[in-house]
Amino acid sequence: MAATQKSTKKRPAASQGGPKPKKVHVEKPAKSDNKKRSRPVTLPAREVQSASDSEAEEEEDIQADADDVDEELAHDDSAMEISEAPPNQKDPAAARESHKAQKVLQEQRRAAKPHSTLLADAKRVWCQANAKNLAPADRQKLIHELMDVIRGRVKDIVFKHDASRIVQTVVKHGRQKERDEVAAELKGKYKELAQNRYSKFLVTKLIRLCPSHRQSILTEFKGHVLRLLLHREATAVLSDAFELYANAYERTLLVRDFYGKETALFTVTSGTAEDKERARKGLAGVLEDADPERRKRVLSSMKAALTSIFNNSDKGAVTHAIVHRALWEYIVAVNSSPDEAEGEKQFREIFEVCQDVLAELVHTKDGSRVVREFLARGGAKDRKQILKILKPHVERMCVDDDAQLVLFTALDVIDDTKLVVKTLVPEMTAPANTLCQTPQGRRALLYLIVPRTRRHFTPAQITALVETDEIRARTSKKTQEVREAEIRTGASEALIKWVKDKGALLLRETGASLVVTEIMLFADGDKTAAIETLLRAASADYPCDDHAPHPIDLPHSSRLYKTLLQGGHFNRATTAVEPALGWDARAFAEKFMDAVGKEVCIAMCNKGECNGAFVVAELCEALKGAQGEAARKTLKGWFGAPVVKEIEGGEAKGKKILLEKISTL
């Protein structure tokens, strides 16, 4: 560590002689391919952390636990020796002899433990191989030496707290050959390893770093998945394996335990292409050729398994993606039941079982689909109950890709818009300052004003939201247009006030300016105060005297003013501007003239590195025509022959377009 710190001594001048200090090679940490599980919205938000940092913390925690255990053992040995022969505190020689006797006894006890020599040799090499500042070649040499020490004995030592850390170092820093060798030695022990406080981390590493052994490792969990999901240590291993590392077929191996023992015993798992294709269908593949009685038994087993997990929500399994996948498959199966009455009954029963933990489901793809299905198919009372459960977590849901789809579906299907505006909308608009800082948060705000627009929502997101439209047509009474208008009206007041209070700052943020543009164009209500805020920022002296650039010099804010002056967004397909019905571009142009003034407008047109010429060109376009004759004449008077000549001789971007617009005034 000392080699990497800067010295406080003054370096000699370049002209002075002497040997140059030798550079110490510091191995840069490799980019980790670790992924992270989706975090439930019920947990408090945490700062973004790299995967390598998380892994380092995991190692430090494990090592700290190991050190604590060693200290406790040493303390116990010392205490036993003291109780057997209490030293004479007044005689230093007697105290020294007592300490020597204690040390000998402690060494004897350690030597009597199984594999003591092996562990001592492994720890000696491990301390060197685990050093942070180590050249790759030196580390590989030590890892190879460490592997020679533990080869053939991995299964015997891996359950010990200190030896588990040693094996993990081999897997982490070793080559694929060493990793596969460790994975092969541990075959048949993975279920037991996953339940151990220390070796569970090793199982996760092997699943991630040994893809050729992954399927065989997951197969060892077959028949025990439900029990392991409710186990304090093993639940995280299964969750990581399913959500982060397993492929589609390997996931079916884990989910299959939910289908009951009958399916596990009589379903063929030969691993052929046909078998894998059938397995990828999940529950649908199991029920494909099943008779009514078998179908009933399988669904009954699934319901019992899911109920046991939801009734033990304190175990943490209710937040895992594997449980959400099984729940979604169950709901799809009961909704497609040949007996509609029986399917409706089963749907109601599973809703009653999991309604209290719906907030634990929304952060995964399958869990989000489950809650959206409950919203779409539920009655007014069910939807009200769902909103009540989700309300405390709305802000976190707004910034989660999957969870926010639940909010959007609630806005799409709930007919009681007064309830939505009273409970859901304020929870989305109140944290607008925070939400506008992330793409997900901005989408949440935009959905209140311009839902499902292709300008801000991807085709995949729109497709996911369309899934509930067919059900909505049967369960909702209001039309889509009426519902959207009522939601927009309910959210507009708070959003317009937000622009009025924070508009000058929002202009300078790229993402926030997009939200402001949509609010000004499409929100309902009096926007006079918000317009004044935006124009006050544009009327500042140009160019600005302070270090901050003028809003017109920022691409995103100049685009905002340009869009407001042209009265809507430009459609490339039709090569025309689509006017916003609730926005008066001419009135805004007249206010822009009054607020900005002649000097600033002309100054905007004579700079080469700004977008002012394009904005003024749209100002000229907005004031053309018979209406607003006075404003048009005033603007034309600003651009007399001397000003036009100055623009022609300048280097402003867009001056050609500007001159054309001026000539049409």
Q: How high is the pLDDT of residue 614?
A: 92
Give the mean pLDDT of 477-498.
95
CB atoms closer than 10 angstroms to residue 237: 26
Q: 8-12, 226-230, 441-445, 517-521: which has the minimum mean pLDDT?
A: 8-12
What backbone torsions phi and psi does residue 624 show, to the nearest 5 degrees? -75, 155
pLDDT digits 0-9 by tens, 16-35: 344 444 444 444 444 445 67
Cβ neighbourhood burial of 96 (10 Å; 0-12, 13-18, 19+): exposed
Flag whether pLDDT at 48 surpasses 80.
no
What integer pLDDT is reported at residue 108 of this predicted model? 56
Residue 661, CA atoms < 13 Å, CB-side half-sphere: 22
> Which residues, in sequence order, are CB contacts of 470 under 8 Å at separation 6+?
none
The answer to whether residue 655 scores a pLDDT higher than 90 is no
Q: CA quadruple 205, 209, 210, 214: dihedral positive or negative?
A: positive
Question: Looking at the DSSP assignment, which residues form a beta bridge with residue 571?
Answer: 576
Distance CA 314, CA 436 (A): 34
Comparing 14 with 433, the larger pLDDT belongs to 433
Answer yes or no: is pLDDT of 53 > 50: no
* Pick from 292-296, 356-360, 511-515, 605-609: least confident: 605-609
Contact 413, 377 (CB under 8 A): no
Distance CA 221, CA 254 (A): 8
- Buried b / exposed e over 239-265, threshold 16 CB at 10 Å, is bbbbbbbbeeebbbbbbbbbbbeebee
Residue 1: predicted pLDDT: 41
Digit-coded pLDDT (tens) for 275-317: 667 777 888 888 887 888 999 999 999 999 999 999 999 999 9
DSSP string, 113-162: STTHHHHHHHHHHHHHHT-SS--HHHHHHHHHHHHHHHTT-HHHHTTSHH
Q: d(Cα 272, Cα 289) in Å, to the nearest integer?
A: 19
pLDDT above 50 for 195: yes
pLDDT at position 125: 86
Quick check: 8 pLDDT over 60?
no
Share of the chain above pLDDT 90, in %: 56
Query: pLDDT category, 408, cuts 50, 70, 90?
Result: very high
pLDDT (average), residues 36-50: 71
Average of per-residue pLDDT across 568-584: 91
Confidence band, pLDDT 50/70/90 cuts, at residue 608: low
Q: Which helix (H) or strand (E) holds 571?
A: strand 568-571
pLDDT digits (tens, 9 = 90+) for 584-603: 999 999 999 999 999 989 88
Residue 282 in contact with residue 255, Cβ under 8 Å? yes
Residue 228 has which token pair? Answer: 């392991």
Q: Average per-residue pLDDT in the chain?
A: 84
Q: How large a percentage of the chain has pLDDT more than 70?
A: 83
Residue 316 gets which letter from DSSP? S
Is the pLDDT at 575 greater than 70? The verdict is: yes
Per DSSP, the three-state class of 577 is strand
Residue 306: per-residue pLDDT: 96
Residue 628 has what pLDDT?
A: 67
The 10 Å CB-count burial string (b at 16+, else e) for 363-387 is: bbbbbbbbbbbbbbbbeeebbebbb
Over residues 574-579, the mean pLDDT reads: 91
The arithmetic mean of pLDDT across residues 125-152, rounded, is 88
CA 9 to chain centre: 46
Residues 508-527 have a mean pLDDT of: 96
pLDDT of 512 > 90? The answer is yes
Of the pLDDT bands very low, low, confident and very high (cuts 50, 70, 90), residue 4 is very low
Higher pLDDT: 274 or 336? It is 336
**CA distance to 25, 142, 353, per residue, from 137 (Å):** 11, 9, 57
- One-letter amino acid at 92 equals P
* Most confident region among 260-274, 383-397, 628-642 by mean pLDDT: 383-397
Radius of gyration over every alpha carbon of the chain, rounded to an integer in angstroms: 34
Read off the tokens for 365. 């793809």
Among residues 306, 405, 282, 404, the alpha carbon closest in space to that of 355 is found at 306
Residue 56 is predicted with a pLDDT of 46
Neighbour-count burial for 135-154, b at 16+ CB within 10 Å, e otherwise:
eeeebbebbbbbbebbeeeb
Tokens of 490: 């309910």
Q: 429-453: buried (b, 16+ CB within 10 Å) or exposed (e) per residue?
A: bebbeebbeeebbbbbbbbbbbbbe
Strand, coil or helix: what is 576? strand
pLDDT band at 334 (very low <50, low <70, confident <90, very high): very high
- Helical packing angle, 161-173 and 176-185, nearest 10°: 140
Spell out the domain ranges in the chain. Answer: 53-78+100-220, 539-663
- Report the C-alpha dihedral over residues 504, 454, 457, 372, rounded to 10 degrees: 130
> Residue 467 corresponds to which tokens in the numbers above?
């899934």
What is each CA distance from 465 to 174, 405, 407, in whole angstroms? 46, 7, 11
Q: Give the burial class of 306: count Cβ atoms within 10 A of its Cβ; 0-12 exposed, 13-18 middle, 19 or more buried.
A: buried
Between CA 401 and CA 404 the distance in angstroms is 6
DSSP secondary structure letters along 602-627: HHHTT-TTSSHHHHHHHHHHHT-SST
Whether residue 47 is predicted with pLDDT greater than 60 in this model: the reply is no
Confidence of residue 546 (pLDDT cuts 50, 70, 90): low
Alpha-carbon dihedral 296, 297, 303, 304, rounded to 10 degrees: 150
Band of pLDDT at residue 67, cut at 50, 70 and 90? very low
Given a cut of 80, whether residue 99 has pLDDT beyond it is no
d(CA 523, CA 211): 52
